[in-house]
Structure 1
Amino acid sequence: MKAKKGVLLINLGTPDSPKVSDVRKYLDEFLMDGRVIDIGTIQRNLLVRGAIVPFRSPKTAKLYNEIWDKEKGSPLLYISELQADLLRKELGSDYQVELAMRYQKPSIEEALQRLKLALVDSIQIIPLFPQYASASTGSVIEKVMKLMATWHAFPRISIINQFYDNELMIEAFADNAQEKEPEKYDHVLFSFHGLPVRQLKNVDNSGKHGCAAPSCCAQITTSNKFCYAAQCYETARLIAAKIQVNKEKYTVCFQSRLGKDPWVQPYTSDVLVDLAKKGVKRLLVLCPAFVADCLETLYEVTEEYGQEFKKLGGEHVELVPSLNDHPKWIEALKQMVLANEMESLKATY
Structure 2
Amino acid sequence: MSENAVLLVNLGSPDSTSVPDVKRYLREFLSDDRVIDSPKLIQQFVLNCFILPSRPKQSAEAYSKVWTDEGSPLIVTSKNLQKLLQGKIEPKVELAMRYGSPSIPDAIERMKSEGVKNVFLVPLYPHYAMSSFETVVVKVMEEVAENAPDMKVTTLQPFYSDPSYIEALYKSAKPYLDNEYDHLLFSYHGIPERHLNKADSTKAHCNVVKDCCTTCNPAHSTCYKHQVTKTTELFVKRAGIPEDKYSISFQSRLGREPWLTPYTDKVLEELPAEGKKKLVIMTPAFVSDCLETLEEIAMEGKEEFLEAGGEEFTAVPCMNEHPAWVQFLADKAENWLKSSSAVL
> What range is the shorter-chain TM-score in?
over 0.9
Q: Determine if the alignment matches structure 1 residue 82 to structure 2 residue 80.
A: yes
Higher mean C-alpha displacement, 136-145 vs 210-219: 210-219
Q: In 2 relative to 1, CA 211–344 (structure 1 residues): closer, same or farther, beyond 3 Å?
A: farther
Q: Determine if the alignment matches structure 1 residue 109 to structure 2 residue 105.
A: yes
On the 8 A contact 1:131/1:162 being kept in 2, the answer is yes
On the 8 A contact 1:219/1:230 being kept in 2, the answer is no
Alignment coverage as a number of residue pairs:
343
On the 8 A contact 1:220/1:231 being kept in 2, the answer is no
**Match for residue 15 of structure 1?**
14
On the 8 A contact 2:191/2:253 being kept in 1, the answer is yes
Q: Deviations over 1:13-40 (max 9, x none)?
A: 0000011111111111101111000101
Higher mean C-alpha displacement, 115-124 vs 270-279: 270-279
CA root-mean-square deviation: 1.7
Q: Determine if the alignment matches structure 1 residue 166 to structure 2 residue 162.
A: yes
Higher mean C-alpha displacement, 162-171 vs 42-51: 162-171
Q: In 2 relative to 1, CA 251–182 (structure 1 residues): closer, same or farther, beyond 3 Å?
A: farther
Counterparts of residues 112-131 of structure 1 (less than 5 Å): 112-131=108-127
Superposition TM-score, scaled by structure 1 size = 0.94
**Match for residue 301 of structure 1?**
297
**Match for residue 331 of structure 2?**
335
Superposition TM-score, scaled by structure 2 size = 0.95
**Match for residue 4 of structure 1?**
3
Q: Determine if the alignment matches structure 1 residue 46 to structure 2 residue 45.
A: yes
**Match for residue 217 of structure 1?**
213
Question: By how many angstroms is 1:197 displaced?
Answer: 0.7
SS at match of 1:149: helix
- 1:42 maps to amino acid: L
Distance in 1 between the 2:328 and 2:216 partners? 21
Distance in 2 between the 1:344 and 1:51 partners? 49
On the 8 A contact 1:189/1:286 being kept in 2, the answer is yes
Distance in 1 between the 2:209 and 2:126 partners? 24
Question: By how many angstroms is 1:219 displaced?
Answer: 5.5
Counterparts of residues 37-76 of structure 1 (less than 5 Å): 37-70=36-69, 72-76=70-74
On the 8 A contact 2:144/2:151 being kept in 1, the answer is no
> Which ranges in structure 1 are unaligned for 5 or more consecutive residues?
none
Q: Deviations over 1:221-244 (max 9, x none)?
A: 322221011100111112212221
> Which ranges in structure 2 are unaligned for 5 or more consecutive residues?
none
Higher mean C-alpha displacement, 54-63 vs 148-157: 148-157
Distance in 1 between the 2:262 and 2:162 partners? 25
SS at match of 1:54: coil
SS at match of 1:78: helix
Distance in 1 between the 2:56 and 2:147 partners? 36
Question: By how many angstroms is 1:107 displaced?
Answer: 0.4
Q: In 2 relative to 1, CA 273–153 (structure 1 residues): closer, same or farther, beyond 3 Å?
A: closer
Distance in 2 between the 1:137 and 1:344 partners? 24
Distance in 2 between the 1:243 and 1:136 partners? 27
Q: Deviations over 1:89-115 (max 9, x none)?
A: 1002xx011000000000000000111
**Match for residue 268 of structure 1?**
264
SS at match of 2:125: coil
Higher mean C-alpha displacement, 310-319 vs 285-294: 310-319
Q: In 2 relative to 1, CA 243–206 (structure 1 residues): closer, same or farther, beyond 3 Å?
A: same
- 1:165 maps to amino acid: S
Question: By how many angstroms is 1:220 displaced?
Answer: 5.3
Q: Deviations over 1:150-187 (max 9, x none)?
A: 24641322111311122232222212322113550100
**Match for residue 247 of structure 2?**
251
Distance in 2 between the 1:152 and 1:86 partners? 27
Q: Determine if the alignment matches structure 1 residue 148 to structure 2 residue 147.
A: no
SS at match of 2:200: coil
- 2:78 maps to amino acid: S
Q: Deviations over 1:28-79 (max 9, x none)?
A: 1101111000101111101112111221111111111000012x11000000
Q: Determine if the alignment matches structure 1 residue 192 to structure 2 residue 188.
A: yes
SS at match of 1:26: helix
Question: By how many angstroms is 1:4 displaced?
Answer: 2.9
- Sequence identity (%): 38
SS at match of 2:8: strand
- 2:61 maps to amino acid: K
Distance in 1 between the 2:184 and 2:193 partners? 24
**Match for residue 179 of structure 1?**
175
**Match for residue 288 of structure 1?**
284
